[in-house]
């Protein structure tokens, strides 16, 4: 669709007519030579006697060119542009941080696999997390891994392919053998400081047995709540496990409750996938919709055509000047 960004400039269209009316062409009288035998001279020369007042007038095509140039220049000044069809971009205003436990206890094989055989807790988490990240279209995703210490592996990004690649490269023990659960929450709080959205979600996947944190998980959860961060904790593994491999479901439930999130007990991969579906339903994203129409400037077309016409007229006048010589 054709639009003009400065349509008001077309009010100048009658300007040449007003100038010609208010400021007519300058005329003056010149003395003439009086010849008594003028008639005899003109007859002998074969010339036709006409009025002494002669006003040179432009040809019709020259007038048309001048009018066309004026119109084209006005159209160019009106800034014509071609406006395309509306383009709508919709995105969810939500930042999701995944904190994944890589402590030695996550290598414990008590998690029912797809074929019914036990697999390690981390193998199950890794497969489901990869699919979860792949479905985060529109969200910004961040990754934290923790063991004896917590590390920010990936700041918030919309590059889901990079996030999935990093999940695939994770290995149990790469962050140390212990579990710094509280420190991982504290690191997530720092990561969210750069977030400008209202919906902030931390998904904590762990067996919940904190053994190395400098900050207790409960205190960290309370600070997260003050910063508008909802923590959804997911307990992985067999509740009957003992020793270093045991699961502290009570701590995970307290973390979720204090931060305004929710605790989930994932007993197998199917349950783990259902947990993510429930999180999507609970943590409703703030939808942002932006609509715009692409615009292509057409100013160069009328302006270029006007300059081309002026150039042709100039060449014609120059050619006449050479022929008159």
Residue 245: pLDDT above 60? no
Least confident of 12-16, 96-100, 132-136, 208-212: 208-212
- Cβ-count burial of 118 within 10 angstroms (0-12 exposed, 13-18 middle, 19+ buried)? middle
- Pick the range with the lowest mean pLDDT from 128-132, 145-149, 213-217, 314-318: 314-318
Strand partners, 94: 199
The rounded mean pLDDT for the chain is 82
Least confident of 5-14, 42-51, 75-84, 178-187: 42-51
Mean pLDDT of 205-214: 82
Q: b/e map of 257-267 (b: 16 or more CB within 10 Å)?
A: bbbebbbbbbe
- Which pLDDT value is given to residue 54? 52
Question: Residue 231 has what pLDDT?
Answer: 94
- How far is it, in rounded angstroms, from Cα 266 to Cα 82? 56
Q: Which pLDDT belongs to residue 91? A: 66
pLDDT at 179: 87
Domains and CATH numbers, the chain: 2-28+57-84+293-324 (no CATH), 88-289 (3.40.50.410)
pLDDT at 236 over 70: yes
User: What average pLDDT does the segment 162-175 reach?
Assistant: 93
15-65 pLDDT, tens per residue?
Answer: 888 887 888 766 666 666 666 776 777 777 777 766 655 555 557 777 788
Instruction: Give the residue-averaged pLDDT of 78-102.
Output: 84
Per-residue confidence (pLDDT) for residue 62, from 0 to 100: 75
From 6-10, 125-129, 149-153, the region with the lowest mean pLDDT: 6-10
* pLDDT attached to residue 221: 93
Do 279 and 203 form a contact (C-beta atoms < 8 A)? yes
């Amino acid at each position: 669709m054709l639009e003009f960004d400065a349509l008001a400039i077309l009010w100048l269209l009658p300007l040449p007519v007003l100038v010609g009316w208010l400021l007519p062409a300058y005329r003056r009288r010149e003395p003439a030579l009086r010849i008594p035998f003028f008639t005899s001279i003109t007859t002998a020369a074969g010339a036709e006697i006409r009025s002494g007042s002669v006003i040179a007038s432009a040809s019709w095509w020259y007038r048309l060119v001048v009018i066309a140039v004026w119109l084209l220049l006005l159209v160019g000044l009106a800034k014509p542009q071609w406006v395309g069809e509306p383009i709508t971009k919709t995105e969810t205003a939500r930042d999701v941080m995944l904190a994944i436990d890589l402590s030695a206890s996550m290598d414990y094989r008590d998690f029912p696999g797809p074929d019914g055989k036990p697999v390690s807790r981390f193998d199950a988490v890794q497969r489901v997390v990869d699919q979860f990240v792949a479905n985060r279209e529109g969200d910004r995703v961040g990754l934290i891994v923790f063991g004896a210490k917590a590390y920010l592996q990936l700041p918030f990004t919309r590059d889901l392919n990079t996030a999935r690649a990093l999940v695939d490269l994770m290995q149990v023990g790469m962050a140390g053998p212990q579990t710094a659960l509280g420190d991982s929450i504290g690191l997530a709080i720092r990561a969210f400081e750069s977030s400008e959205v209202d919906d902030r979600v931390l998904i904590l996947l762990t067996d919940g047995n904190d053994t190395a944190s400098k900050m207790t998980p409960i205190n960290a959860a309370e600070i997260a709540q003050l910063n508008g961060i909802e923590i959804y904790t997911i307990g992985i593994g067999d509740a009957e496990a003992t020793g270093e491999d045991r699961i502290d479901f009570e701590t995970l439930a307290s973390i979720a409750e204090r931060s305004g999130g929710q605790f989930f007990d994932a007993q197998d991969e199917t349950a783990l996938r259902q947990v993510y579906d429930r999180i999507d339903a609970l943590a409703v994203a703030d939808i942002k919709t932006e609509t715009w129409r692409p615009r292509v400037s057409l100013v160069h077309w009328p302006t270029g055509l006007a300059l081309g016409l002026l150039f042709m007229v100039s060449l014609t006048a120059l050619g006449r000047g050479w022929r008159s010589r």
